[in-house]
Amino acid sequence: MSDVVTLPTLVDAVAAADACLEGAIAAADAAPRASATVGERYVLLTLAATCYAVLEACVTEIDRMPRITPVPHVPEWVRGVTSVRGDILSVVDLRSFLGLDAATTRGTRMIVARLVSEEFATGLLVDGVERIVEISAGAIGAPESPLEGPLAPFLNGICTIGDRTVAVLDLDRLLRSPDIRQFEERQDDPAEGEGSGTTSCEER
Amino acid sequence: MRRTLTIKTRLVFTVAFVAAMLAGSTGIALWRLGAVEADAEQLAQSHARTAANVARSYEQAFATVRTRISADAAAKGDSAGADAALPALLAKVERQAIDEATQYQRAMDAGGAAVRSDITRGEIGIAAVLAVSLLAVVAVLHLFVYGPIVTEAASLVRVCDAVAIGDHTSRVPNPSDTELGHVARSLNLMLDNTVTLVQSRAERDQMQAAVMKLLDEVSGVAEGDLTVQAEVTADVTGAVADSFNFMIGQLRQIIGQVQSASRQVSTALGDLRDVTQKLAGGAEDQAAQAVEASVAIEEMAASIHYVSENASSSAAVAEQSRTNAEHGTRAVTRTIEGMKAVRDQVQETAKRIKRLGESSQEIAEIVELIGDIGDRTSILALNASIQAAMAGESGRGFAIVADEVERLADRATEATKRAGVLVKATQTEAAEVMAAMEDTTREVINRSNIANEAGVALSEIQTVSNRLAELIQAISDAAQQQARGSEQVAKSMTEMSSVTRNTASSTKQTAAAINSLALLVDNLNATVSRFKLPAANADAAEFGHPRLVAAS
């Protein structure tokens, strides 16, 4: 076996990590100088072997798979409700929403998406959350072929990060879609400003 | 003198003797009667004298008594009255006594006279009886003895005289049933037989002719012709002929048996000669075979010696084998000990590897924990980044830190993944090593068992080698014993050879004896063959069932 890694190697790795952390802190100290960013920050997540990017502004928290209380008389893709810091959230399994089998793994994450303006939050189960990246608006382009599938209406386009193609998912639009909203307890304001989710997020 | 006395003379003598005896007896009786008479006379006189004496004595006694009484009366005097009666009484008694004496005397006289007359009558009776007896004797002798006996004897004498002069027809007439009558009957019977025995001349001639015929018939027997047969006729020679035929038959049988026996002896002698020749040949063969056997026995002795030497070599080889087996046993023991050490080490190693597996399990858990921590760190970093973004411009520096932290968490996660893979590989390998160790342990146990079996087999080989050495020693001893025995046998064979030679010469002598015996038998055959036998009889003799052949 070529990569014979033992505990000392791990120790070395931890030491290297410490060094990195120190480097990061140092970089953070120097951060205000290089604050001129050009793009929006997106959260990269994976779902059914496809990489999606959602706007960081729509995400308030990322958590592990919580304990879910099943709820009767709901579609299959609504797993139930859960409690996050005192708030009761409904949990939507995006895999089921896409028509795939519900498969919970160790990497499964719940993204707490919230529309601040409407005080509406829901939990979205995804296969995994990779990291947070900055994507400039110019990098997002229309797809060469029309996108298909249940999520197609909520996609803003695609971009390329590294050697991967990432679909940009508009969470704001998704959360405002009738399918999601029909289970919203507080439907005090009707859907408005479709396609301006980005703007509403930025209003916070 | 007694032989010349006739019966008549004897009878007369007898009568005279009887008469004399009777007269003598009578005389003696008369003499004795005379004596009795005299005695009776004396007795009567003596009694008469006695009676007279008694009478006198009585008188004297009475006189004495009277005198005494008178004297007493005178002496006394006063008793005259009483005394007057006493003499009267005495006189009375005296008279009675004298009367009794007188009567006694008379009775005695009368008795003597009666005796005398009786004796006289007896004498007369005796004489009369004597005369009558004599007459009776003479009459009886004449009537019962003289008459029949003398008369019959006289007739016997007459008949005998007649026969003496050739008159065989004379017989005693009417023989009585007395002894002489028996004699007379015997004489008559004898005379009858004598008459019958007298033969005529014709009969004698006939008998002589029959005897001559018989002699002619049987004369061939003297020359050995046993085929002759005498004719059995009804006359006196018939019985002789029958006996002769029987004798000839017996003779035929005997001669036939002798001839048959002689032939059988001849045949047996021929067989005996053959047998003797074979025996002689066999003895020579035996001598030759004895020589061969001697040679063979010498070869056998040599081979036995060879066997003995080989046995010694084998004993050495067996000893070597035993030593090798001992070495092998020791080597196997060491091997088993080595195996045991290997097994112990393998078990120890297996234990350590098991502990290693357990340690790697713990490491895996730790690695998983680190991975989990990395995972959480990553989430925390993401959330920190989000929070930093929410903080706006003031959180920008914190966002950078969060990015770094996230990168670090990614690296940690990556490293833990690799570590987990490695630990899993280690665990797999440890399990494989454990399995291999168990296999090795089993193999070692198997090998130990095999080595044990080898040790057992080697010890058995050792035992067998010992036993083999003993057996080989026994074989060697036996071979030496056999060698000695074979020498003895060779000696015995030599002796047997000489004995066989003796036997051969004896057999030759036997053959010569048989030849002379054959000559003797030939002579016997020639002698016996002079007798001629009828064919059927010869056959009968052959079968040993002789029988008389009736004359044809």
Q: Which amino acid is at A96?
A: S
pLDDT band at B448, cuts 50/70/90? Answer: confident
3-state helix, strand, coil in chain A (%, to 5): 30, 35, 35
How many Å from the N-terminal Cα to the C-terminal Cα in chain A?
53
Q: Which of A9, A45, A55, A56 to mutate to test the interface with B (most CBs of B within 10 A)?
A: A56
Instruction: With beta carbons under 8 A apart, name residues in chain A contacting B401.
Output: 24-25, 27-28
Nearest to A56 among B363, B389, B400 (CB): B389
Nearest to A24 among B363, B370, B404 (CB): B404
For tokens 């400003």, the residue is: A193
Q: Residue B427: enclosing H or E segment and its boundaries?
A: helix B396-529
Nearest to A28 among B379, B400, B406 (CB): B400
Would you call B290 exposed, middle or buried from its count of C-beta atoms within 10 A (0-12, 13-18, 19+)?
buried
The pLDDT assigned to B198 comes to 67
Q: State yes or no: pLDDT of B386 exceeds 70.
A: yes
Average pLDDT over all residues of chain A: 75
Three-class secondary structure assignment of B293-338: HHHHHHHHHHHHHHHHHHHHHHHHHHHHHHHHHHHHHHHHHHHHHH
% pLDDT > 90, chain B: 0
Query: Is residue B226 domain-resident?
Result: no
Long-range CB contacts for residues B373-376, cutoff 8 Å, separation at least 24 = B373/B412, B374/B409, B374/B410, B374/B412, B374/B413, B374/B416, B375/A64, B375/A106, B375/B409, B375/B413, B376/A64
**A33: nearest CA partner in chain B:** B397
Q: Which of A62, A109, A111 to mutate to test the interface with B (most CBs of B within 10 A)?
A: A62
Provide φ and ψ at B518, rounded to 5°.
-65, -40
The total of other beta-carbon atoms located within 10 Å of residue B392's CB is 9
The pLDDT assigned to B139 comes to 87
Query: For residues B418, B423, B425 and B428, what is the CA-based torsion angle, rounded to 10 degrees?
Result: -160
Average pLDDT for B280-293? 83
Q: Which of B389, B398, B380, B404 is nearest to A55 (CA)?
A: B389
Number of C-alpha atoms within 13 angstroms, CB side, residue A170?
19
pLDDT digits (tens, 9 = 90+) for B15-33: 888 888 888 888 888 888 8
pLDDT digits (tens, 9 = 90+) for B500-550: 888 888 888 888 888 888 888 888 888 888 887 776 554 544 444 444 444
DSSP alpha helices (H): ranges in B77-178? Answer: 80-140, 151-164
Buried b (16+ CB within 10 A) or exposed e, A8-30: eebeebeeebeebeeebeebbee
Q: State yes or no: pLDDT of A190 exceeds 60.
A: no
pLDDT band at B358, cuts 50/70/90? Answer: confident
CA distance B243 to B232: 10
The pLDDT assigned to B515 comes to 86
CA distance B296 to B285: 16
Q: Specify the CATH superfamily of domain A38-202.
A: CheA-289, Domain 4 (2.40.50.180)
Q: Which residues are within 8 A (CB) of B403 and not within 5 positions of it... i.e. 6 or more apart? A: A24, A132, B381, B385
Nearest to A10 among B404, B408, B415 (CB): B415
CA distance A93 to A63: 14
Query: Is residue B271 domain-resident?
Result: no
Do B521 and B266 form a contact (C-beta atoms < 8 A)?
yes
Domain end point (choices B112, B146, B164): B164
Residue B143 DSSP label: I
This model of the complex carries an ipTM of: 0.70
The pLDDT assigned to A194 comes to 39
**B408: nearest CA partner in chain A:** A17
Instruction: With beta carbons under 8 A apart, name residues in chain B contacting A21.
Output: 404-405, 408
Long-range CB contacts for residues A1-8, cutoff 8 Å, separation at least 24 = A1/B422, A1/B425, A3/B418, A3/B422, A4/B422, A5/B415, A5/B418, A5/B419, A5/B422, A6/B422, A7/B363
pLDDT digits (tens, 9 = 90+) for B188-205: 888 888 777 765 666 777
Say how far residue A125 (Cα) sits from the centre of its chain. 9
CA distance B143 to B149: 10
Q: State yes or no: pLDDT of A165 exceeds 80.
A: yes
Do B412 and B370 form a contact (C-beta atoms < 8 A)?
yes
Nearest to B397 among A6, A16, A32 (CB): A32
For B284, the 3-state DSSP assignment is: helix
Q: State yes or no: pLDDT of B369 exceeds 60.
A: yes
Average pLDDT over all residues of chain B: 82
Query: Is residue B216 domain-resident?
Result: no
Do B540 and B250 form a contact (C-beta atoms < 8 A)?
no
Distances (CA, A) of B43 to A180, B38, B108, B168, B346: 224, 9, 9, 80, 180
Q: State yes or no: pLDDT of A202 exceeds 80.
A: no
Say how far residue A145 (Cα) sits from the centre of its chain. 24
Distances (CA, A) of B480 to A75, B107, B300, B307, B437: 114, 152, 12, 9, 62
Chain B residues whose C-beta is within 8 A of a chain A C-beta are 363, 370, 375-376, 379, 382-383, 385-386, 389-390, 393, 396-401, 403-408, 410-412, 415-416, 418-419, 422, 425
Chain A residues whose C-beta is within 8 A of a chain B C-beta are 1, 3-7, 9-10, 13-14, 16-17, 20-21, 23-25, 27-29, 31-32, 35, 41, 43, 56-57, 59-64, 106, 109, 129, 131-132, 204
Question: What's the CATH number where B302 sits?
Answer: 1.10.287.950
Region of poorest pLDDT, from A123-137, A173-187, B56-70: A173-187
CA distance B468 to B314: 9
Q: Which of A59, A129, A135 to mutate to test the interface with B (most CBs of B within 10 A)?
A: A59
Query: Is residue B104 domain-resident?
Result: yes
Domain end point (choices B164, B198, B224): B164
Flag whether the pTM goes above 0.90: no
Q: Residue B36: enclosing H or E segment and its boundaries?
A: helix B7-76
Query: Is residue B101 domain-resident?
Result: yes
Q: How far is B428 from chain A (nearest CA, A)?
A: 13
Q: How far is B349 from chain A (nearest CA, A)?
A: 22
pLDDT digits (tens, 9 = 90+) for B61-79: 888 888 888 788 777 765 5
Q: Do A28 and B401 lie within an 8 Å CB cutoff?
A: yes
Query: Is residue B324 domain-resident?
Result: yes
Helix axes B201-218, B236-390, angle to 10 degrees: 40
Q: How far is B437 from chain A (nearest CA, A)?
A: 22
- Report the domain count for chain B: 2
Domain end point (choices B106, B134, B164): B164
Q: Do A3 and B415 lie within an 8 Å CB cutoff?
A: no
Nearest to B411 among A13, A25, A109 (CB): A13
Buried b (16+ CB within 10 A) or exposed e, B112-140: beebeeebeeebeebeeebeeeeeeeeee
Q: Do B382 and A21 lie within an 8 Å CB cutoff?
A: no
Query: Is residue B311 domain-resident?
Result: yes
Q: DSSP assignment of A63-109, as one string?
A: EE----B--SSS-TTEEEEEEETTEEEEEEEHHHHTT------TT-E
Do B357 and B431 form a contact (C-beta atoms < 8 A)?
yes
For residues B314 and B457, membership in a common domain is answered with yes
Q: Find residue A59's DSSP bridge partners.
A: A113
For tokens 């004598």, the residue is: B194
Helix axes A7-29, B396-529, angle to 10 degrees: 170
Q: Which domain holds residue B128?
A: 7-164
Average pLDDT for B173-193? 83
Structure tokens at B407: 């990168």
Q: Which of A2, A3, A4, A5 to mutate to test the interface with B (most CBs of B within 10 A)?
A: A5
Q: Do B415 and A13 lie within an 8 Å CB cutoff?
A: yes
Nearest to A24 among B363, B382, B405 (CB): B405
Q: Which of A11, A131, A202 to mutate to test the interface with B (most CBs of B within 10 A)?
A: A131
CA distance A15 to A10: 8
Query: Is residue B264 domain-resident?
Result: no
Contacts A–B by Cβ distance under 8 A: 93
The pLDDT assigned to B543 comes to 45
Do B98 and B58 form a contact (C-beta atoms < 8 A)?
yes
pLDDT digits (tens, 9 = 90+) for B80-136: 555 567 777 878 887 888 888 788 878 877 877 888 788 888 888 888 888 898 888
For B91, the 3-state DSSP assignment is: helix
Q: DSSP assignment of B480-541, as one string?
A: HHHHHHHHHHHHHHHHHHHHHHHHHHHHHHHHHHHHHHHHHHHHHHHHHHTSB--HHHHHHH
Q: State yes or no: pLDDT of A193 exceeds 60.
A: no
Q: Do A56 and B415 lie within an 8 Å CB cutoff?
A: no
**A31: nearest CA partner in chain B:** B397
Q: Which of A112, A135, A134, A116 is nearest to A124 (CA)?
A: A112
